[in-house]
Amino acid sequence: MLVNNAGVQNPAVPIEAIERRVWDRILDVNLTGTFLAIKTVTPSLRRNGGGVIVNIASTMAHVGTSLYAPYVASKWALRGLTRTATLELGRDGIRVNSIHPGVISTPLINEPIAGQPPIADFYSPEPYAIPRMGTPADITTLLLYLTSADASFVTGSEFVADGGLLLGPALQPDTTAA
């Protein structure tokens, strides 16, 4: 099995202020690294008669997000790479899926990036269906399922694990009005 989980985030800046070296680094790690890993492991998986590849993407692969163009572009492209690999490798018994985490409590969210405040400082999960940040264990559980024999018929699928973030706010009824 292969789990492509490397990912880096760019500082929050508008497109015209993004330096080319930042753009290249984000795409090199988030997209090219995944491509190279798939390319490298495929012959071995074929020789073994199959296997599983899971690419860790992001909910940002489903929306536009201002100030994060390199990250968003890399994760959208990862969706296409995942689907292409699914079609190319499926007949060899190799399943390929992706997980799209929302805001997960990790250093990427909780620590400053390039001198900017951490994302956790301006993100609140309160309005969403599950009003908490995700944990690494939330993603690990899904990953363990996808790499197990229980998921033997699952390929080419995108699994969003975001507590309802992409759905938008979970508005609550006004219980004070009678």
Q: Which of 71, 123, 128, 145 is catalytic?
A: 71
Tokens of residue 175, six digits: 């219980």
Specify whether 123 is catalytic: no
Gyration radius of the chain's alpha carbons: 18
- Nearest-CA neighbor of 94 among 128, 62, 142, 54? 54
Sheet of strand 2-4, all strands in order from the earlier edge strand to the far edge: 2-4, 51-56, 94-101, 158-161
What is the C-alpha end-to-end distance of the chain, expressed in Å?
Answer: 57
- Nearest-CA neighbor of 109 among 167, 60, 43? 60
Sign for the CA dihedral angle at 21, 22, 25, 30 comes to negative
Cα angle: 165, vertex 170, 175; to 5 degrees? 160
The residues that are catalytic are: 71
